[in-house]
Amino acid sequence: MNLSNNKQVILYPLITEDAVNLIESENKLVFIVGLGADKSSIKKSVEELYGVKVEKVNFTITSKGLKKAFVKLAPDHKASDLAIKLGIF
């Protein structure tokens, strides 16, 4: 999978009060992803784009029809560090 495919999977990070709380409390980041993205493609894309290790991915479809992915990073990677790199913090 090349970088342009990753950008079609991961559309943008979600920045809400709840998303910031997840970064701080559960080492999770929240992304809006393409509707065709599955858990393995989301995991692979986040790992390749941001150089981190992903422990777990869950997602939900919002009432607006967007797919929201909750990405839990491995314990040796801090979600807050990646959030700073992404400009969330």
Question: Tell me, what CATH number does 33's domain have?
Answer: 3.30.70.330
Q: Would you state the pLDDT for residue 55?
A: 98
What domain count does the chain have?
A: 1
Mean pLDDT computed over every residue of the chain? 93
How much is the average pLDDT of 50-77?
97
Supply the pTM of this predicted model: 0.91
Is residue 35 classed exposed, middle or buried when 0-12, 13-18 and 19+ CB atoms within 10 A define those classes? exposed
Residue 75: domain span: 3-86
Which ranges of the chain does DSSP label H, i.e. alpha helix?
Answer: 3-9, 17-26, 39-50, 79-86
Q: Would you state the pLDDT for residue 3?
A: 62
Is a pLDDT exceeding 70 seen at residue 80?
yes
- Taking residue 4's Cβ as centre, other Cβ atoms within 10 Å add up to 7
